[in-house]
């Protein structure tokens, strides 16, 4: 059985919970989405997340646009396909759910893309915040629309 670890990161968008195991990052949770229940079977170990913390801090300072981390994504084949496509959205750019659906050759899958987007276990690094409504409005985001707006503004500011 693999050991699971967690730590907290104080960030400009609030206190994030990082979760992982010996080999990879498995989750980032926004302030509104984590509870102590998330970490019942995990060990507090901030040093395990040094690389993740450094890269996230660089991102928040506008010094990093791409991440180079080992991720362990748990989801369906379709969800993983959507999450992989999200990683191709350039820093500071937004696209619609329809754009993602087209990119993965599922043009009628906008709703399914939205559902997969909402299940993204590693937001920011897998930039689901860059997906907006077809009409340009901010729509659903696990961390709340205020945090989605902050992330988009941060990226635009540092372009």
pLDDT in tens, the chain (159 residues): 789 999 999 999 999 999 999 999 999 999 777 666 567 778 889 999 999 999 999 999 999 999 999 999 999 999 999 999 999 999 999 999 999 999 999 999 999 999 999 999 999 999 999 999 988 889 888 889 999 999 999 999 998
Q: Which residue has the tokens 């999200």?
A: 86
CATH 3.30.160.70 residue window(s) in the chain:
4-60
Tell me which of 3.40.1280.10, 1.10.760.10, 1.10.10.10, 1.10.287.1080 is the CATH number of domain 77-157: 1.10.10.10
Q: Is 128 a catalytic residue?
A: yes
- In angstroms, the CA 50 to CA 109 distance is 37
Residues of the chain with CATH 1.10.10.10: 77-157
Rounded Cα distance between 42 and 159, Å, is: 37
Catalytic residue among 7, 42, 95, 128: 128
User: Which CATH architecture best describes the domain 4-60?
Assistant: 2-Layer Sandwich (3.30)
Task: Give the pLDDT of residue 37.
Answer: 57
In the prediction, which pLDDT does 34 show? 66
pTM, entire model:
0.93
């Amino acid at each position: 059985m693999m050991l699971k670890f967690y730590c907290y990161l104080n960030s400009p968008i609030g206190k994030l919970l990082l979760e992982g195991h010996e080999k990879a990052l498995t989750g980032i949770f926004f302030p509104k989405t984590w509870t102590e229940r998330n970490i019942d079977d995990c060990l507090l170990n901030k040093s395990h997340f040094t690389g993740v913390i450094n890269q996230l801090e660089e991102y928040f300072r506008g010094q990093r646009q791409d991440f180079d981390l080992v991720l362990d994504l748990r989801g369906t084949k379709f969800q993983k396909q959507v999450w992989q496509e999200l990683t191709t959205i350039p820093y500071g750019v937004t696209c619609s759910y329809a754009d993602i659906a087209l990119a993965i050759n599922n043009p009628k899958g906008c709703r399914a893309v939205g559902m997969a987007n909402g299940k993204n276990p590693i937001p920011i690094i897998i930039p689901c915040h860059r997906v907006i409504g077809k009409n340009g409005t901010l729509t659903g985001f696990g961390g709340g629309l205020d945090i989605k707006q902050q992330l988009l503004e941060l990226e635009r500011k540092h372009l």
